[in-house]
Amino acid sequence: MKKYICFMTILLASILLTACSIGQVQSYKSEGFALGTIINQEIYGANAQQISEEAMTRIKYLEDLMTINAPGGDVNKLNEHAGQGFVALNPETISVLKTARKISDLSEGAAFDITVAPLVKLWNIGQTDNPAVPPAEAIKKLVPLVNYRDVQIDEANNQASLARAGQMVDLGGIAKGYAGDGVREIYRKNGVKSAIINLGGNVVALGSKPDGSAWSIGIQDPRSETGEIVGIVKVTDKAVVTSGDYQRYFELDGKRYCHIIDPHTGYPVDSGLMSVTIITSSSTEADGLSKAFVLGLDKGLELVQRYGQAEAIFITTDKKIYVTPGLRGNFRLEDKSHEYTYVEER
């Protein structure tokens, strides 16, 4: 049995602060840890260190509010009241629940369903040194609890409820995206025109680089254990979010079990995909849409098309890279292994 946890980059969790200047524009870089991952910021402009610190304060506040992995906060409050009626929540939590519902509606819960939490906790992938496949009966018992429509939202009174006892929500598949959008607003509020933040693979770019060129974002080789990339996508003022089977998983008897659970089967996804990257304006919605990974190539592409405001990169288990037409000219294959085939459009 093997257990793996793979990050886009492997870095120390301490804060690293550097400052330099590019032309006449000062650059400030920082590194921290929150949301269970490394947070990197690169900000161009005055007062960048203060802005970076404000951003980290914001991220940690949202983590406390929306985490399922620690007591307190809105998510656990909602889960503790499952089947007991409405409970008052922070307006920001209500906003994330609404966006989760919007993304779930696109696939009728087949790709993304925040009520998959009981199954996520049962599998516990990435959270234990002794991963195992749960008993089939235990999985079968929990699958009926998964139904995003059972999350009722009373937006006028900032309240939400879970219809049945035993149900749980987990915002881990969308809250990191929401944090990225929140940081971008902090940058804008402080007059920053050019900045980028990487929340453990959830990248949000504000504007372009100071010289007017696009940001170059590396797409990780899903089978590289050292963070090698297979391609580069160029973006301006966009979010780039990836979900894949390489981020948290374990192997047992030659089979890979990733941390993304199929809401309909209760088992880790085996969709013929290794990763899905979404490029769109909203980091929150990109985070949810990246769970098109669950659907496989054809249905995943259909989901992106239904959304209508995103581009995507799909990497299949047979090492083909499918790039949607809107990325033509903005994606470049960088495959040193020479194992991948680039398919420009589908």
The residue among 173, 207, 223 that closes a domain is: 173
Strands of 229-235's sheet in order across: 215-220, 229-235, 331-333
Residues 124 and 208 in one domain: no
Same structural domain for residues 99 and 83? yes
Domain that holds residue 215: 2-64+174-343
Same domain, 76 and 37: no
CATH of residue 314: 3.10.520.10
The mean pLDDT value of the chain amounts to 90
Q: The domain spanning residue 142 has which CATH number?
A: 1.10.3980.10
Nearest to 9 by CA among 229, 177, 178: 229
* 319 and 212 housed in the same domain: yes
Q: How far apart, in whole angstroms, are the C-alpha atoms of residue 39 and residue 36?
A: 9
pLDDT > 70 fraction of the chain, expressed in percent and rounded: 92
Provide the pLDDT for residue 119: 96
Q: Looking at the structure, tell me whether residues 255 and 298 fall in a common domain.
A: yes
Residue 48 pLDDT: 96
Low-confidence ranges of the chain (pLDDT < 50): 1-22
Residues 201 and 332 in one domain: yes
The structural domain count of the chain equals 2
Using the 3D structure, point to which of 173, 208, 240 is the last residue of a domain.
Answer: 173
Q: 85 and 161, same structural domain?
A: yes
pLDDT value, residue 26: 81
CA 120 to chain centre: 15
94 with 47, same domain?
Answer: no
Place of tokens 């003022």: 237
Question: Do 217 and 155 belong to one domain?
Answer: no
Identify the pLDDT of residue 129: 82
Crossing angle of helices 91-107 and 73-80, rounded to 10°: 70
Q: What is the pTM of this model?
A: 0.89
- Of 173, 198, 232, the domain-final residue: 173
Ordered alpha helix ranges (H), 81-127: 91-107, 117-123
* Residues 99 and 132 occupy one common structural domain: yes
Q: Are residues 291 and 246 in the same domain?
A: yes
Over residues 71-123, the pLDDT tens digits come to 889 999 999 999 999 999 999 999 999 999 999 999 999 999 999 999 999 99
Cβ count near 18 (within 10 Å): 10
Instruction: Please indicate, yes or no, whether residues 289 and 214 belong to a single structural domain of this protein.
Output: yes
Cα gap 115→117, rounded to integer Å? 5
The H or E element that residue 179 is part of is: helix 175-189
Rg (CA), the chain: 20
pLDDT, residue 237, reads 97
CB-based contact 234:215 (threshold 8 Å): yes
